[in-house]
Structure 1
Amino acid sequence: MRRVKGISREALEFILEASRSSMPREFAGLLQAREGVISEILILPGTESSEWMAWVPVYMLPSMPIVGSCHSHPVPNPAPSQEDLEFFSRTGSYHIIAFPPFDERSWRCYDSSGRRRDLIVIESNRAQTPVFRPE
């Protein structure tokens, strides 16, 4: 298991905005971390969503490390379902569920067994973050 110390504010804001924009459908993605901070959300081709579920084609997982998943619940209930727990068991150890009204308090993090887990929000210094890195 990769150790994660937190999630960047930008990554969390992306999850919340994508969840809000997807309403009434669920949103789903995978989490990637750099230097122990969840900083990227990966959306796989073929991901499907409806008002009741989101489906991520795990057979399309890239060969890059994934630390967990994120998805939304269109109702204000952050508890993971049985289907969520099955998905969690295949996609890492950090799983974020966002729920209405999709603000900074409307999300929870769980481990792969569905137990709540603390995850701090890490502020980044945007002035030092490169927007484009030439190869």
Structure 2
Amino acid sequence: MRIKIRRDLLQYLLQLARDFYPNEFGGFLREKDGIFEEVLIIPKGYFGKESIYFDTWLLPHDENIKGTVHSHPGPSSQPSQPDKKFFSKFGGVHVIISYPFKEWSVKAYNSEGVEIEIEIID
């Protein structure tokens, strides 16, 4: 399996990770024609150094939301146990951006926590 993401969205996500550092940030990825093109930042979220909390009732009903994204302030892009629990509830694709927030530190996972390939689209 492979996901496709626009380069400008990826650059924006990397900048968000830098801006929120040393805290995590999180959002939902909107897909159009098989390519992730937009991010919705979690409304009224708590963005801490080790976790993110948000009220799922505040999420819009949007059939184009097909994934999630969040940052890890540390160097590991591996999903934690709470990440895997979250992945199983929301399904789809899950992107983790780890420090130092460069393209090579971005990983994607399926709902079981298995890494999947990322294709960057210009």
Q: Same fold (TM over 0.5)?
A: yes
Tell me by how many angstroms 1:56 deviates: 3.1
- Residue correspondence of structure 1 range 1-40 to structure 2 within 5 A: 5-40=3-38
Specify which structure has the higher proportion of helix. Answer: 2
Task: Give aligned-pair identity as a percent.
Answer: 35
Spell out, residue by residue over 1:42-94, the C-alpha distance to the aligned partner (whole angstroms, 9 max, x if none). Answer: 01321111111112322222111211100000000111011111211232311
Q: Which has the higher contact order (CA 8 A, sep 6+)?
A: 2
- Residue correspondence of structure 1 range 1-135 to structure 2 within 5 A: 5-65=3-63, 66-123=65-122
Tell me by how many angstroms 1:14 deviates: 1.2
C-alpha separation in 2, matches of 1:74 and 1:108: 14
TM-score for the superposition, normalised by structure 1: 0.84
Specify which structure has the higher proportion of strand. Answer: 2
Q: Which amino acid aligns with 2:8?
A: E
Unaligned runs of 5+ residues in structure 2 are none
Aligned length: 121
Structure (1 or 2) with the larger CA radius of gyration? 1
Spell out, residue by residue over 1:72-120, the C-alpha distance to the aligned partner (whole angstroms, 9 max, x if none). Answer: 0000011101111121123231110001111111110000110001120
TM-score for the superposition, normalised by structure 2: 0.92
C-alpha separation in 2, matches of 1:90 and 1:21: 28
Q: Which amino acid aligns with 2:108?
A: C
Does structure 2 retain, via aligned residues, the 8 Å contact 1:7–1:121? yes
Q: Give the 3 Å change call, closer, same or farther, for CA 4–64 of structure 1 in structure 2.
A: farther
Q: Which amino acid aligns with 1:95?
A: H
